[in-house]
Amino acid sequence: MQINSTINDELKTFDVAPNETLLHALRANGYFGVKHGCENGECGACAVLIDGVPMNSCVMLAAQAEGKQITTIESLGHIAEQGWKHTDGLHLIQQAFVDVGALQCGYCTPAMILAAKALLEQTLAPTEDQVRDALSGVLCRCTGYVKPVQAVLLAAERIRGGAEEPRGKGGQAIPITLPTDYPTTELSNYPTSNLQLLTSTLPTMVVAPAVPETRVVGKPEKKVDAVKLVQGKPAFTDDIELRGMLYAKVLHSPVAHARIKHIDASKARTLEGVHAVLTFKDIPRVVYSTAGQSDPIPGPLDSFSLDSKVRFVGDRVAFVAAESEEIAERALELIEVEYKELPAIIDPRDAMKAGAPIIHDEPEYVNFANVADPSKNIAAHIDIELGSVAEGFKQADHIFEDEYIVSKVQQTHIEPHVVITYWDEDDRLVIRTSTQVPFHARRILAPVLGLPPKRIRVIKPRIGGGFGGKQEVLIEDIAAHLTIATGRPVRFEYTREEEFIAARSRHPMRIRVKTGVTKEGKIVANEMDALSDTGAYGCHALTVTGNTGQKCMNLYNAPNIKFHAHVVYTNTPPSGAYRGYGVPQGFFPLEVQIEKIARTLGFDPIEFRLKNAVKAGDELPMSKAWNEGRPPHPETIETCGLGECVARGAQMIGWKRNLESPISNLYDQRLEIRDWRLVEGKPHLRRGQGVACVMQGTGIPYLDMGGASIKINDDGSFNLLVGATDLGTGSDTVLAQLAAEILGCPIDDIIVYSSDTDFTPFDKGAYASSTTYISGGAVAKAAEQVAGQIRQVAARMLNDRRPQTADGERSAVGGQPSAVAPDQIVLRDRCAFAPDGRFATLQEVALESLHHKNQQQIMAVASYVSSKSPPPFAAQYAQVLVDTETGQITVEKLVMAVDSGVIVNPATASGQIEGGMTQALGYAVCEEMLYDARGDSVIRQLGDYKIFAADEMPELQTIFVETFEPSHPFGLKAVAEIPLDGVAPAVANAVYDAVGIWMREIPMTPERVWRVMRGK
Ligand code: FES
Ligand code: FES
């Protein structure tokens, strides 16, 4: 049928099928700014304005748009300078999103901007609550909504005409609200606005006098990809159409554990429009691991593209490629499969029992370092002991022991896994995919596809969030097998349901912690024992669970430490990498245990922590014993701002226990505290505060490698090519800042490209909080080499420009400038300066070297591997209200004070903390993947799996305590994962503070809290 609609003020007529959604019709007609993350009306990424009202286009038939006015992001502003043509520039809302840094991956951004537009057409003076309400229909997994809310308020202010221009060197206005007692001397460099918001980003606070003066590093520069993302440009994997594209679908197993007795795809193959159906009989049987890790992968090889055995509900049975998704789905129904069901293991406690069914009995199974025992369903085991905990417990005056349970949760990036594959004109297989690990993907896929790596090219466009979920080589093989089978381009994307039943998740664990303490408050023995559930495949099994012990047990410097873990197979969807990578699982039990010890023995919880925590100069205890399954490298802590973090965080949240130290049960009798705990008119509510201290690592020492190349262009700009993958974190921006700092130019002169295995240098990819540190090290090295070449050319130019004497010599006599040596040249302000002030512009240097004399391409490539993994530290605070009748926890406020070394970009870094705390909040109170007794997923849609919306958020505050990490040229440490670590224990400790119960299981749902309160 034909419909007529006005799209972005243009009358359009297009053909649609009667059952076609508006989302599909818009994207099919090139409106790629309309994104999608669920296709059942729950994520809001597909929102467009219909007659000025935000509507989810995925739940609306295209036919319903007949005669309507449709507004997509493409109708808003565009970049102003377009050669000889100029536009009015970005819309003020788009500009505010750019200025405030209100986007990370940018996948939800078009819908957010449209929602904001609809609001500001109703009112130009919205309250923060109104903004949050307007944005609440668009889920964002990256930002924590802090900056999007600020951006909308700023846009409103600018549209009203009341806004001052953005201030600060980065041109960014960051509205902040300050407590009255915050030391204002530390705020001098921070732009402020009159906006009063619940949410704020606090200034960087420098505690290391060694932080050098910088011009670009340390400034809240705008994200290099922000302008394209606020315009909804076709930047993501799925934003292209290829001629002859086929659409793939996967038949998933309906049973948890079975052998395929019989499979017949003949009917499916004869369906018109079907081009290929593949079963395990049709493709080579190659064992591999889907974990996107360096070679050799530190885990078992236990997966096949397709196998004759299925190991969880959702496992792969067959692949189909057809002319459309609908035909492919019909073909799935025609595949006949007979299963011989086997007993299944759903509860990990059953996995190692005698007589348990064996999940991996395939002869091709490859063990890594002998840590697996598939005959006992063990994917990995870890045993580390420093000193002797048995001896330590003998010395202890008090021993505490408890078991804790942490749940299985999902990354829930709004852009699903998506890939497009095709043969290029040289018969090389191109894989355009939303991946965090393009180079690992090429290496891992080559044997699976029967191609050498040189015949595979992996292109990573923008990524709509990953959080570890895209550190998996999860679906690329499906499309690639089908392209090999058909010779045609193939697109495959997980539906949201497939994300829940067949993607990866965070390992759920049962963790027992036993701690021995002297009466003086010294921890003398600390033991952790974990049972970790890797699901049906052992991807990341060893390394995630190893991190649980290694990173967490590093924090308290006990003389006797033990970590023991079994990572077991079950017939449930596989676990894998999820931001934090094992560490959030460990800090929940550890930090609740520490709080309990302090409270029980009458120590101030903060003093008790700091007394036992590691400090600068200490050896990281676990570094002597473990390194992701590879040889350990003892490491000393160079910088630790934990004490300052604790102090600043306490000050910011208004830490009540500071009023009386050490704590006593009497202090609640003080009137002001009692009043603070209560809510007027709501006697069933109790308020409490909690704290947790946490640490992480920064990359994997002696293993993680990043590469970068930089070359100069005629105008003095630079191309920076990196293999690192910006999945929304802002890494392209901070890498450009590092290059700009060294090359003496603004960030605008650095053109960043990431990543393509044909063109960019190798990088291990985005994981382990390593990009800024490792890939940034490579960028700094390459930039230093390029700067050296520029100095050589500039010195020669400046010397050549001196007047000549009669015999042709250039002389310093007679007041002429003396010869300048290259190492005297300073690069700044797009120029190369001699000490006497003479200069050549970078453009002149580029033209000289490319066209005029001693021609050479000024360029360099460098790589960086670290011998260290310097730990960032943080103090996480939470303030909660507990409903004593229902068990409902309302988190009112989260404050995180972080030592991540030098902060390259406070806007992107604080965005990481805000978004990370929000994910961690879901882990603490509501997110959980649940299965029935057959191993079938109870959670299949976003609506079943609660992630926070803009109008449900607590107040978020971030403080940076800067130290200068000497192992890195810019003194930086990681920031991306640490905000995942402390929220759950801080909330649990706040619940104890409020109502006196210890929560030992997350998420702390109302039912669980109610049961513990009632002693059930
Ligand atoms: S609400 Fe339409 S794709 Fe999610
Ligand atoms: S920026 Fe919102 S989903 Fe990534």
- Ligand 2, from 142, 146, 727, 918: best to mutate by most atoms within 8 Å of Cβ? 142
Does 45 sit in the ligand 1 pocket, CB within 6 Å?
Answer: yes
Q: How far is the CA of 414 from the centre of ligand 1 (A)?
A: 9
Residues with CB under 6 A from ligand 2: 103-108, 140-143, 414, 465, 728
Q: What average pLDDT score do residues 460-464 get?
A: 95
Are 316 and 305 in contact, with CB atoms under 8 Å apart? yes
- The answer on pLDDT for 816 being more than 80 is no
Please enumerate in sequence order all residues whose Cβ is within 8 A of that of 278, keeping only pairs 6 or more positions apart, or say none: 306, 318, 319, 320, 481, 482, 485
Please enumerate in sequence order all residues whose Cβ is within 8 A of that of 390, keeping only pairs 6 or more positions apart, or say none: none
pLDDT digits (tens, 9 = 90+) for 67-76: 999 999 999 9
Nearest Cα to Cα of residue 896 among 985, 993, 973: 985
Q: How far is the CA of 326 from the centre of ligand 2 (A)?
A: 29
Of ligand 1's listed atoms, the one at least distance from the Cα of 39 is 3
Give the torsion sign (CA, 215, 220, 225, 226): negative
Which residues does residue 880 pair with via DSSP β-bridges, in sequence order? 688, 891
Q: What pLDDT band is residue 134 in, cutting at 50, 70 and 90?
A: very high
- Ligand 2, from 35, 100, 108, 223: best to mutate by most atoms within 8 Å of Cβ? 108
Q: How far is the CA of 766 from the centre of ligand 2 (A)?
A: 17
Predicted local confidence at residue 865, as pLDDT? 86
% of residues, the chain, pLDDT over 70 = 92
Predicted local confidence at residue 772, as pLDDT? 82
DSSP 592-652: HHHHHHHHHHT--HHHHHHHHB--TTSB-GGGGT-STTS-----B-----HHHHHHHHHHH
Q: How far is the CA of 479 from the centre of ligand 2 (A)?
A: 26
Which is it for strands 69-71 and 2-7: parallel, antiparallel or unpaired? parallel
Residue with the bigger pLDDT between 81 and 192: it is: 81
Most confident of 186-195, 205-214, 656-665, 946-955: 946-955
Of ligand 1's listed atoms, the one at least distance from the Cα of 36 is 3
Nearest Cα to Cα of residue 486 among 745, 267, 269, 165: 269
Q: How far is the CA of 39 from the centre of ligand 2 (A)?
A: 17
Q: What pLDDT band is residue 131 in, cutting at 50, 70 and 90?
A: very high
- The answer on pLDDT for 119 being more than 60 is yes
Does 274 sit in the ligand 1 pocket, CB within 6 Å?
Answer: no
What are the angstrom distances between the C-alpha of 80 and each of 15, 76, 156, 498, 975? Answer: 34, 12, 21, 41, 34
Residue with the bigger pLDDT between 503 and 370: it is: 503
Predicted local confidence at residue 168, as pLDDT? 30
- The answer on pLDDT for 176 being more than 60 is no
Q: How far is the CA of 28 from the centre of ligand 2 (A)?
A: 23
Residue with the bigger pLDDT between 705 and 265: it is: 265
Predicted local confidence at residue 867, as pLDDT? 79
Does 43 sit in the ligand 1 pocket, CB within 6 Å?
Answer: yes
Does 527 sit in the ligand 1 pocket, CB within 6 Å?
Answer: no
Q: What average pLDDT score do residues 430-450 get?
A: 96
Dist CA 304 CA 536 (whole Å) = 12
Which ligand is closest in space to the CA of residue 141?
2
Are 458 and 435 in contact, with CB atoms under 8 Å apart? yes
Q: Ligand 2, atom 3: nearest CA belongs to which residue? A: 140
Q: What average pLDDT score do residues 206-215 get?
A: 65
Q: Which of 4-18, 175-189, 734-748 has the lowest mean pLDDT?
A: 175-189
Predicted local confidence at residue 599, as pLDDT? 93
Dist CA 804 CA 288 (whole Å) = 69
Which residues does residue 490 pair with via DSSP β-bridges, in sequence order? 246, 421
Which ligand is closest in space to the CA of residue 464?
2
- The answer on pLDDT for 184 being more than 50 is no
- The answer on pLDDT for 662 being more than 60 is no
Under DSSP, is residue 472 helix (H, G, I), strand (E, B) or coil? strand
Which ligand is closest in space to the CA of residue 919?
2
pLDDT digits (tens, 9 = 90+) for 827-885: 999 999 999 999 999 999 999 999 999 999 999 999 988 877 889 999 999 999 999 99
Nearest Cα to Cα of residue 586 among 563, 604, 605: 563
Q: How far is the CA of 373 from the centre of ligand 2 (A)?
A: 40
Dist CA 793 CA 704 (whole Å) = 34
Q: Which of 81-90, 134-143, 513-522 has the lowest mean pLDDT?
A: 81-90
Q: What pLDDT band is residue 426 in, cutting at 50, 70 and 90?
A: very high
Helix axes 476-486, 438-449, angle to 10 degrees: 50
- Whether the link from the prior residue into 754 is cis, omega within 30° of 0, is no
Average pLDDT, the chain: 90
Does 38 sit in the ligand 1 pocket, CB within 6 Å?
Answer: yes
Dist CA 189 CA 577 (whole Å) = 38
Dist CA 540 CA 546 (whole Å) = 10
- The answer on pLDDT for 911 being more than 90 is yes
Q: How far is the CA of 288 from the centre of ligand 2 (A)?
A: 32
- The answer on pLDDT for 190 being more than 70 is no
Q: What average pLDDT score do residues 576-588 get?
A: 96
Residue with the bigger pLDDT between 252 and 704: it is: 252
pLDDT digits (tens, 9 = 90+) for 292-342: 998 888 889 999 999 999 999 999 999 999 999 999 999 999 999 999 999
Tokens of 47: 């929102």
Predicted local confidence at residue 205, as pLDDT? 58
Return the number of other C-beta atoms located less than 10 Å from residue 358's C-beta: 14
Q: Ligand 2, atom 2: nearest CA belongs to which residue? A: 140
- The answer on pLDDT for 463 being more than 60 is yes
Dist CA 849 CA 794 (whole Å) = 9
Predicted local confidence at residue 631, as pLDDT? 80
Dist CA 352 CA 345 (whole Å) = 10
Predicted local confidence at residue 625, as pLDDT? 84
CA 810 to chain centroid: 57
Q: What pLDDT band is residue 182 in, cutting at 50, 70 and 90?
A: very low
Does 22 sit in the ligand 1 pocket, CB within 6 Å?
Answer: no
- The answer on pLDDT for 194 being more than 50 is no
Under DSSP, is residue 910 helix (H, G, I), strand (E, B) or coil? helix
Q: How far is the CA of 953 from the centre of ligand 1 (A)?
A: 21
Q: How far is the CA of 643 from the centre of ligand 1 (A)?
A: 44
Of ligand 2's listed atoms, the one at least distance from the Cα of 105 is 4
Dist CA 142 CA 225 (whole Å) = 15
Q: What average pLDDT score do residues 964-982 get?
A: 91
Q: What pLDDT band is residue 768 in, cutting at 50, 70 and 90?
A: low
Q: What average pLDDT score do residues 449-455 get?
A: 97
Q: What average pLDDT score do residues 391-418 get?
A: 97
Of ligand 2's listed atoms, the one at least distance from the Cα of 728 is 4
CA 917 to chain centroid: 12
Q: How far is the CA of 464 from the centre of ligand 1 (A)?
A: 14
Tokens of 733: 């921006």
Are 755 and 231 in contact, with CB atoms under 8 Å apart? no
Q: How far is the CA of 429 from the centre of ligand 2 (A)?
A: 30
Q: Which of 544-558, 574-588, 811-825 has the lowest mean pLDDT?
A: 811-825
pLDDT digits (tens, 9 = 90+) for 11-35: 999 899 999 999 999 999 999 999 9
Return the number of other C-beta atoms located less than 10 Å from residue 777's C-beta: 27
- The answer on pLDDT for 171 being more than 80 is no
Tokens of 96: 């505010």
Under DSSP, is residue 958 helix (H, G, I), strand (E, B) or coil? strand
Q: What pLDDT band is residue 672 in, cutting at 50, 70 and 90?
A: low
Q: Which of 474-488, 642-656, 921-935 has the lowest mean pLDDT?
A: 642-656
Of ligand 1's listed atoms, the one at least distance from the Cα of 41 is 1
Q: What is the pTM of this model?
A: 0.93
